[in-house]
Amino acid sequence: GAVVSQHPSWVICKSGTSVKIECRSLDFQATTMFWYRQFPKQSLMLMATSNEGSKATYEQGVEKDKFLINHASLTLSTLTVTSAHPEDSSFYICSATGTSTDTQYFGPGTRLTVL
């Protein structure tokens, strides 16, 4: 149980384009989803927290207009990187928690490369 999927697993795009990453909880209802970014040899950095049906809460320094997060249902959250630039190239990972638990289960991650 507690499986989280992400799609796509990797994406290459041109600078200036937008990329959407999906995060799904497959066997539980995710009341809260989290989006992280991880650069090589660094720790995970929390970007934002989203609750179903509510606006996401962004961490300090994360541009909400650049990283659009939608949590439209209890099993799906999306992260859209708008007008991507090479410095946005990173490993994006989502996680989810279910009801009555604070255990976060992580998706497999999406590797974004912006040319």
Partner 1 sequence: QKEVEQNSGPLSVPEGAIASLNCTYSDRGSQSFFWYRQYSGKSPELIMFIYSNGDKEDGRFTAQLNKASQYVSLLIRDSQPSDSATYLCAVVNDYKLSFGAGTTVTVRA
Residues that bind partner 1 (CB under 8 A): 32, 34, 43-44, 46, 49, 91, 93, 95, 102-109
Looking at the Cβ atoms of 8 and 108, the one nearer to partner 1 is 108
**Read out DSSP for 52-89?**
TTS--EEPTT--TTTEEEEEEETTEEEEEE-S--GGG-
Provide the edge-to-edge strand list for the sheet that holds 19-25.
Answer: 4-7, 19-25, 76-81, 67-73
Give me the least distance between CB of 35 and partner 1, in Å please. 12
Looking at the Cβ atoms of 34 and 67, the one nearer to partner 1 is 34
Please tell me the total number of residues recorded for the chain in this structure.
115
Looking at the Cβ atoms of 83 and 113, the one nearer to partner 1 is 113
Give me the least distance between CB of 83 and partner 1, in Å please. 26
User: For residue 89, with 0-12 CB atoms within 10 Å meaning exposed, 13-18 middle and 19 or more buried, which class applies?
Assistant: middle
Give me the least distance between CB of 102 and partner 1, in Å please. 5
Give me the least distance between CB of 67 and partner 1, in Å please. 17
105: how many CB neighbours lie within 10 A of its CB?
18
Looking at the Cβ atoms of 75 and 95, the one nearer to partner 1 is 95
